[in-house]
Amino acid sequence: MVAQLDSKASIRGGCAGDKGCILVKRVNTRNGPTAQESFDCATLSIICFDLETSPTGGGLRFGATELVGIIRAMVITIDGPAGSGKSTAARKVAARLEVPYLDTGAMYRAITHVALLRGIPLEDEQAVVELARQTRLEVDCGPTHARVRADGHDISEAVRSLKVTQATGAVARIQPVRDLMVAEQRRLGRRLGSFVTEGRDQGSIVFPDADMKFVLEAELEQRALRRLRDLQVDGEEVEFREVIYDLKTRDANDSVQWSSLLRPDAAIVIDTTDLSIAQVVDCLLGHIRAVIPWPNASAQS
C-alpha cells in the first residue's frame, strides 16, 4: 500500500522543472498506520531529485519507505541592521529547522580581512574587486555554525575583529564586489536547497523569491548595547559611544539594501528592542510554522 499524501496544504511546489533538495518524511507503513500517525514517527531526510521525472500527487514510494509529505526547498531570508539580533536568531532558527545557515556578512568580512592582511588600500576599488575575484571563499554553512575560509585558510575568528568590522562597510559598498558576492550566494543557495540566510540584501536582491522574508529591527541604543557586549566577550576594548558611532555609520550605508522590504507586505518586520533572543526565535518560528508545514518548527527555544 502506498500512503496518500495526507494534506494538499503540506505540498508545496511540485512544478515540472523544479529541481533541488526536497524534504521528505519517510515512513515504513508495513503495519498500516494512517498518514498522520506515520508523520509523527517519521524519520526526516533531505533528498535531491528532479520533480520532472518524479511522480507527484497520490503516494510516492522509495524502496520500503513511503513518502507522506513533500515540501519544496524552503528559503528564509533575514535582513536588517547590525545588532538587531539577526545573526543569532538566524543561526538558532536554522538549527531548529535542521537546515543550513548562510552568514553572508562573513563573506564581505573575509574579503576585507584578506585585503587588510595584504595591505591593499580599501579606497583602491579596482584592487579590492580584483582581490574578491581571485580569493577562493568557502563558507561552511552548518546548522549550528558558520565557518569561512579564504584560499584554504580558516579565518572564521579573524573576520569578527573590531578592525575588520569597522572596515567591511567600505568593501561592501563597492558594487562589483557586491555583484560577485551575490552570484556566489546564489550559487551556494542552489547547492543548499533549503536554508536560512542572513544579511542586508537577502530578501530584496539575492533571493527575491524566498518563501519567507524577515526584517529584524531594534532601537539604536539597544543594538549598541548588544554589540558592546559581543565585542567585550571577544576581548575588544571599546567604548559605548564608539559603538554608537559605528552603528550609525553602518546604518546610513547599509539600510538602502533592505529598504524595499519595508514596503507593505514585502517582508515581516519584527522589532526586537524588547525581546530576548529566545522570544525572537519563537516569533520567527511562529511565522514560519503558520506558512510552511516544516517539521521541527515548534515554537519553543
Residues lying near ligand DC in the complex (CB under 6 A) = 82, 104-105, 108-109, 168-169, 172, 199-201, 250, 254, 257
Report how far Cα 217 is from the mean position of its chain's Cα atoms. Answer: 16
Cell digits for 226? 548588544
CB of 72 to ligand DC, least distance (A): 24
Whether residue 270 contacts residue 80, with contact meaning beta carbons closer than 8 Å, is answered with no
CB of 50 to ligand DC, least distance (A): 30
Sign of the C-alpha dihedral, residues 288, 292, 297, 300? positive
DSSP for residue 42: P
Q: CB-wise, 38 or 84, nearer to ligand DC? A: 84
Gap between the Cα atoms of 283 and 289, Å rounded: 10
Q: CB-wise, 169 or 193, nearer to ligand DC? A: 169
Among residues 50, 40, 42, the alpha carbon closest in space to that of 73 is found at: 50
CB of 165 to ligand DC, least distance (A): 7
Cell digits for 44? 526526516
Q: CB-wise, 98 or 242, nearer to ligand DC? A: 242
Q: CB-wise, 72 or 91, nearer to ligand DC? A: 91
CB of 206 to ligand DC, least distance (A): 7
Query: DSSP letters along 131-192, please?
Result: HHHH--EEEEE-SS-EEEEETTEE-TTGGGSHHHHHHHHHHHT-HHHHHHHHHHHHHHHHHH
CB of 201 to ligand DC, least distance (A): 5
CB of 182 to ligand DC, least distance (A): 8
Q: CB-wise, 85 or 199, nearer to ligand DC? A: 199
CB of 177 to ligand DC, least distance (A): 9
CB of 185 to ligand DC, least distance (A): 8
Q: CB-wise, 29 or 202, nearer to ligand DC? A: 202
Cell digits for 85? 539580533
- Cβ count within 10 A of residue 32: 9
Whether residue 175 contacts residue 181, with contact meaning beta carbons closer than 8 Å, is answered with no
Q: CB-wise, 200 or 223, nearer to ligand DC? A: 200
Which residue's Cβ has the minimum distance to ligand DC? 105
Give backbone dihedrals phi and psi of 71, rounded to 5 degrees, phi first: -125, 130
Q: CB-wise, 11 or 277, nearer to ligand DC? A: 277
Q: What angle do CA 91, 194, 38 make, to 5 degrees?
A: 100
